[in-house]
Amino acid sequence: MNPPILQITGYGQPFIWLHGMLGSVESDSVYSMVDFNRVSEIASVIRYDSCGKSATGDYSWNGMTNELFHLVNHYKFEPLILGGTSMGSGTAIHFAVRFPEKVKALILVTPPPAWEKRKVVKSLYNKIAMKAEQPTMPDFLRRLITLNQDPPDFFENEHPGTRQRLLNSRLGFDALYYPQIYRGGAASDLPAPEEIEKIKVPTLIAAFPDDLNHPLEMAQTLNNLISGSEMFIISDYDGFLKFQEKIREFLIKVDCNNKS
């Protein structure tokens, strides 16, 4: 397996960031709940497109964990700080459970629904994948993706036009990529709660109070399962800015703890 093409900014402890579903390095450069420019002042920020945005990639969380494992081994990025949003946070959790010796901290942003709450998601994603298996992107899928309200209103109000730029990115993949990534989502779930309880590294979890696709309850459950983890709820733009400060404090503390 060839390692993916990396975008690396900054210097210091390695911080690998995993994008969300229908995301990419490009879309995360348009909008992310993590300000990579600020993080790169104190860490080496490493980003890549999962499966190279390939229409034949394995987009299950297990498959992307395998991809990450090969990347980490190839470049010797360990121990590392691992972060991700939505699908990316699911992959980060799988990696921390399977390879705990390689991870020194986690940042989990808007973790996705899991276990019982994921049954409906899996069923929906399977249906989307079947209907989307066409040589050109079907109109129903274009409409479905357009309904997404990323970024939240408070961010769009501060940075007008972000929502349209993000939408353009999400609609710009190869047509056959879409059924493949939805199949991957349908095949995915988090490790069992008792496995997640074994995670023993500093963990920062962030969520919105009213995101139906990423329930606050899921973030709170992970907060309860991962001993010593911190929870941060982002309700407005001021909260977004405070979260950037929280990330900075978290990374500095992790770095200091690993030097002591």
Percent of the chain with pLDDT strictly greater than 90: 92
pLDDT in tens, 197-207: 999 999 999 99
Predicted pLDDT of residue 256 = 81
Q: What value does the mean pLDDT take over residues 59-68?
A: 97
- Check pLDDT > 70 for residue 122: yes
Domain range list for the chain: 7-113+191-259
Amino acid at 72: V
Predicted pLDDT of residue 4 = 82
Distances from the Cα of 248 to the Cα of 41, 85, 154, 156, 215, angstroms:
9, 17, 22, 23, 25
Q: What value does the mean pLDDT take over residues 77-90?
A: 95
CATH superfamily of 7-113+191-259: Alpha/Beta hydrolase fold, catalytic domain (3.40.50.1820)
- The gap from C-alpha 33 to its chain's centroid, in whole angstroms, comes to 10
Predicted pLDDT of residue 136 = 94
Percent of the chain with pLDDT strictly greater than 70: 99
1: confidence class by pLDDT, cuts 50, 70, 90: low
- Check pLDDT > 90 for residue 78: no
Q: What value does the mean pLDDT take over residues 110-119?
A: 95
Predicted pLDDT of residue 31 = 96
Q: What value does the mean pLDDT take over residues 183-188?
A: 97
Say if CB 14 and CB 103 are below 8 A apart.
no
Which residues, including other chains, have CB under 8 Å from residue 14's CB and lie 6 or more apart? Answer: 43, 44, 46, 77, 78, 80, 81
- Check pLDDT > 80 for residue 25: yes
- Check pLDDT > 90 for residue 259: no
Distances from the Cα of 243 to the Cα of 8, 224, 237, 250, angstroms:
22, 20, 10, 10
pLDDT in tens, 128-172: 999 999 999 999 999 999 998 799 999 999 999 999 999 999 999
Predicted pLDDT of residue 260 = 52
Say if CB 203 and CB 227 are below 8 A apart.
no
Q: What value does the mean pLDDT take over residues 89-106?
A: 97
222: confidence class by pLDDT, cuts 50, 70, 90: very high
Side-chain half-sphere exposure of 32, counting CA atoms within 13 A: 26
